[in-house]
Amino acid sequence: MEQKPEEQVEQHNSGQSSDVSSGQPYSGASGSLGTPGQEATAPKPNKAKREAMEWIKALAIAALLVLVIRSFLFSPFIVDGPSMKPNFHTGERVIVNKILYDIRGPKRGEVVVFHVPQENRDFIKRVIGVPGDKVKLEGDDLYINGEKVEEPYLKGAIEQARKENRLYNMTENFPNSFVQSDVVPEGMFLAFGDNRSDSRDSRMIGYISTKELVGRADVIFWPLKDMQIIKHG
């Protein structure tokens, strides 16, 4: 809150003159006695009004800060759908860092929110490949640039699937009939949902332009029991 300015008290001469008959000074307006050179103090400004103005200014500044933060720095996002299970669930609210990708590009393993113009909605997925990467997904095995890559964020889910004698990813591999190129182009990235068997992602919609990035999901803040800093990769 701004520091209150010091009160300014206006002072003026009282316009006194001498009583010829008694020789004592008097006030021409009220007749009250005084001494020559005595100064009268003006009424103080209304304290309640000043405090109200201070509150209005403080609230206006707070509203402006919230607008700036939401528009340029951080923004809340609600998870909707099963595509990021077992790590994210419908109804969870996350804080998205909107300035990170103005500084650098996305990295493998990061959980990001991005626009999908052809579907007029936003997706939350995990970055799998960045420009120049050659990517292959075959069942539960992910290969980048010819080397098998471990996905620690899916380790438990894949192990559970194997105990049940099944694949965790029982749908599309990559590349496929939808996306035949296996090399991530410049200015693009590849993103899959953690729930490989129930996710609409780059295996169907193709590579995503970095221009469509909203930001990186950094914190789950609701519900409170699930509050945590999001692990990337």
Name the pTM for this structure: 0.71
Task: Clarify whether residues 21 and 116 are in a common domain.
Answer: no
Task: Clarify whether residues 107 and 217 are in a common domain.
Answer: yes
DSSP letters, 135-186, are: EEEETTEEEETTEEE--GGGHHHHHHHHHTTS-S--S--BS-SS----BPPT
Task: Clarify whether residues 192 and 138 are in a common domain.
Answer: yes
Task: Determine which one of 83, 98, 199, 202 is catalytic.
Answer: 83
Task: Clarify whether residues 97 and 176 are in a common domain.
Answer: yes
**CATH of residue 133:** 2.10.109.10
Lowest mean pLDDT among 13-22, 196-205, 210-219: 13-22
Percent of residues, the chain, with pLDDT higher than 90:
67
pLDDT of residue 59: 75
Is-catalytic flag, 71?
no
Structural domain contains residue 98: yes
pLDDT of residue 53: 79
Is-catalytic flag, 85?
no
Task: Clarify whether residues 28 and 81 are in a common domain.
Answer: no
Region 85-106 average pLDDT: 96
CA dist 82 and 220 (Å) reads 16
Structural domain contains residue 65: no
Could you report the per-residue pLDDT of 136-162, keeping only the tens digit for each?
999 999 999 999 999 999 999 999 999
Task: Clarify whether residues 106 and 191 are in a common domain.
Answer: yes
pLDDT grade for 31, boundaries at 50, 70 and 90: very low
Is the pLDDT at 71 greater than 90? The verdict is: no
Residue 21: domain span: 9-43
Is the pLDDT at 29 greater than 50? The verdict is: no
Contact criterion met (CB below 8 Å) for 77 and 97: no
Task: Determine which one of 22, 71, 85, 125 is catalytic.
Answer: 125
Q: How many structural domains compose the chain?
A: 2
